[in-house]
Amino acid sequence: MKLCVPISAPSRQGALREMEEAAVAAEMLELRMDAIGDVPLAALLEEARSLTPAPAVIVTNRRREEGGMRRPAAGERPEEAERRRVDLLIEAVKRGAEYVDIELSTEAGLRESLRAEIARSGFRTALIVSHHDFRRTPSLLRLKGIYNDCAGAGATIVKVVTTAVRPGDNLRILELVVHARRECQPIVAFCMGGAGRISRLTAPLLGAEFGFACLREGEGSAPGQLTVQDMRQVLKILDCGKGEKE
């Protein structure tokens, strides 16, 4: 089971320290460029490639409407801020990042510009098209509609993340993982929140591409995120996967 550690320290020094720890603990890391601050992407990618072992890198520049932390620059129009946000993802493709994550809610023309750059770069970068719901977990029918829209937007990996209001909400998001696997569509899907923790553990066991975990308790990038150590320990107890990093 592959785990991804989000990197969201606001300073360059803090981000580099988190990256070093993540390389030892997990197979992947996510550069949350909306949270890291004014640190050049090139420097972060160069540092990631120098790590041993070198993790696969997801570059994310999250929209504020879906949990992003970066505010528009003074006097910047919303459409300019969005263009600048996606331009950073395009830069990540040019610099050879393994993955970029763009929200389904992003304006279609901007999503297409990112897809076009991935094509020009020889499809070296995998496209994650994501959807986040911080209020609830909708019906399975609605989840499948979101999934279809993400896949239709050219996703290499579909990512659907919702919020569990009650434990039973996990069942719907896990059924979506099973549905995607039947269609041979790579997916990452789970519920946020304390009630959704079981889906974070179970989804990768059902075939999700990878799971997200933090380095230390309380440092998660989303509600309900477990530590890498806790996730691997539970898998070891369940005997459903290897308890140590492969």
245 catalytic, yes or no? no
- Provide the pairing of β-strand 99-103 with 56-60: parallel
- Give how far Cα 189 sits from Cα of 157, 162, 172, Å: 10, 8, 10
Given 132, 144, 179, 245, the catalytic residue: 132
Given 2, 94, 131, 159, the catalytic residue: 159
132 catalytic, yes or no? yes
Place of tokens 């969201």: 8
Contacts of 207 (CB under 8 A, 6+ apart): 177, 178, 180, 181, 187
Give the residue numbers annotated as catalytic, written as ranges: 132, 159
